[in-house]
Amino acid sequence: MKRFLLFAVVAVFISPAFAGAGESGTEILKNRCASCHDLKGPAPQTIRQLWKRDAPDLFYAGNKFRREWLVAWLQKPVRIRPAGVNYLRNINSTPPENQKTKSGRKFDVLYGKVLKPLKHATLNKAEAMAVTDALMELKPHYDLVANVKLDTTKKVTLDQGEVLIDKVYGCQSCHQIEPGYGGYTGAELYTAGRRLQPEYMLSYIKRPRSWDPKIWMPNGHVKPADLQKIVNYLILLSKEDFDASN
């Protein structure tokens, strides 16, 4: 009996869920991440499904993220969506007078005070690299980026980019371009250039709903040349030294 018990205890510890450092990237995703994140797709097809989503979809991570960013963020996660994934629970889209961009557009604000710092699973370096390898394999949306290319000749200054994002297309009513400056609906855009592949940004900004059919971001009918300028701007902006501790 004693011998059987010992065997049972050893068997539990060497099973994949308890393998600790021995877990592969795919196993970590299954064991520690899949309870919150969708790793299989498709994206929510109805509004009801959308509001049940409490964590961003990761099933097209390989089409979306920059590898270096993933490795670093998984070891030190910080908030990306200033009002959380379910932003409608936390924002007020008819804000008081003083919440305005330079051009006078209003942006949505948080109800009450700013959300607490993000609490998220943290991985060590080896785990972060293994998980990143596994995530970068997930590329079901290759079709959406296959013919998309960044035109690096369409350069803009930070000021010119801000005019596009604020005045021309109104992106800033939903997105921040500095910590605390801009709306609270979408993901912050001041680290987007470090976080996201240029082809993903070009494709997503052009037709957000081809990635996420029920997402609130409208198709802004951005002109092709402006689309290139906006993405070049976001890459330039992400080189600024922002405090990433929000």
Chain residues binding ligand HEC by CB under 6 A are 28, 32-33, 35-37, 54-56, 70, 74, 79-81, 85, 118, 120-121, 123, 131, 169-171, 173-175, 185-187, 192, 196, 201, 204-205, 215-218, 220, 222, 230
Question: What DSSP letter does each residue of 121-182 carry, written as one string?
Answer: ----HHHHHHHHHHHHT--TTHHHHTT----TTS---HHHHHHIIIIIT-GGGT-EEETTEE
Q: Min. distance of Cβ 241 from ligand HEC in angstroms?
A: 20
Q: Min. distance of Cβ 96 from ligand HEC in angstroms?
A: 18
Using the minimum distance from each CB to ligand HEC, give the nearer residue, 15 or 161: 161
Distance CA 173, CA 217 (A): 11
One-letter amino acid of 174: C
Using the minimum distance from each CB to ligand HEC, give the nearer residue, 215 or 236: 215
Phi and psi at 63, nearest 5°, equal -90, -10
Q: Min. distance of Cβ 115 from ligand HEC in angstroms?
A: 9
Q: Min. distance of Cβ 11 from ligand HEC in angstroms?
A: 25
Using the minimum distance from each CB to ligand HEC, give the nearer residue, 105 or 146: 105
